[in-house]
Amino acid sequence: MRQEETVADKIRVLVWSEHTAPKEMYPHDINGAVADGLRQDPASFEVSTAELVDPGQGVPEETLARTDVLVWWGHLLHGAVRDETVDRIERHVKERGMGFLALHSAHMAKPFTRLIGDDGRIGGVRHNAGPESIKVLAPDHPVAAGVSDFVIEDEEMYDEEFGCGKPDTVVFHSTFPGGHEFRSGCAYTIGAGRVFYFRPGHEENPTYYREDVRRIIRNAVRWCAGRV
């Protein structure tokens, strides 16, 4: 196979974050850690990163036009994302079929809430909540490929109710000590595009260095790109 054909087959992934994660945990921010996990499979992914302070808030029109999947982690600066930025993302998902993967606190990110038609509200949150037990509810879904039930020893807790619209499939479900639970992996088809939400990933925990989490993210990017 010629090199140009190999490159064309790669999924072009843009990993966005707002550069607010603690440097002692994520020296190159969340997008750097997530991008490193995707780069473990260089034959499948062509990966770049972007931040809020970049031109066009990291997602100008020309960048989105050459992006197959946009991965988004936001937390403290949701309000700084401009409406015209959200408009561009929404159009590329709904009309062009760009995939969108929302991670952790991006449940309230403007692009995600716009796409799913809900407000992203959660019923509760607690830091240092202890183990998160993640159950695979839809083992036949491509995002769950090669994934069994697993436990993250220390994560931030989210609790229902979750204003997540109407997912086509809830792939993962999380429980926490004290009976708290959350729909932690939600798949959507929105217009011409695919959207996935994956819950784990608090910025004070090393979640994005875990191989099980990285596998799920790679699976989700493939699914959002329409490759599986």
pLDDT in tens, the chain (228 residues): 333 334 569 999 999 999 999 999 999 999 999 999 999 999 999 999 999 999 999 999 999 999 999 999 999 999 999 999 999 999 999 999 999 999 999 999 999 999 999 999 999 999 988 899 999 999 999 999 999 999 999 999 999 999 999 999 999 999 999 999 999 999 999 999 999 999 999 999 999 999 999 999 999 999 999 999
- Which pLDDT score is estimated for 5? 36
Q: Which two tokens stand for residue 192?
A: 């011409």
Domain CATH number, residue 35: 3.40.50.880
Q: Which two tokens stand for residue 195?
A: 């959207």
Range of the domain at 74: 3-224
CA distance 192 to 80: 27
- Which pLDDT score is estimated for 129? 85
Strand order in the sheet with 99-103: 45-51, 11-17, 69-73, 99-103, 193-198, 180-190, 169-176, 132-136, 150-152
Do residues 219 and 143 touch, judged by C-beta distance below 8 A?
A: yes
- Which pLDDT score is estimated for 92? 98
Number of domains in the chain: 1
- Which pLDDT score is estimated for 130? 85
Strands (E), the chain: 11-17, 45-51, 69-73, 99-103, 124-126, 132-136, 150-152, 157-159, 169-176, 180-190, 193-198
Helix-strand-coil percent breakdown of the chain, rounded to 5? Answer: 30, 30, 40
Do residues 155 and 129 touch, judged by C-beta distance below 8 A?
A: yes
- Which pLDDT score is estimated for 75? 96
- Which pLDDT score is estimated for 2? 32
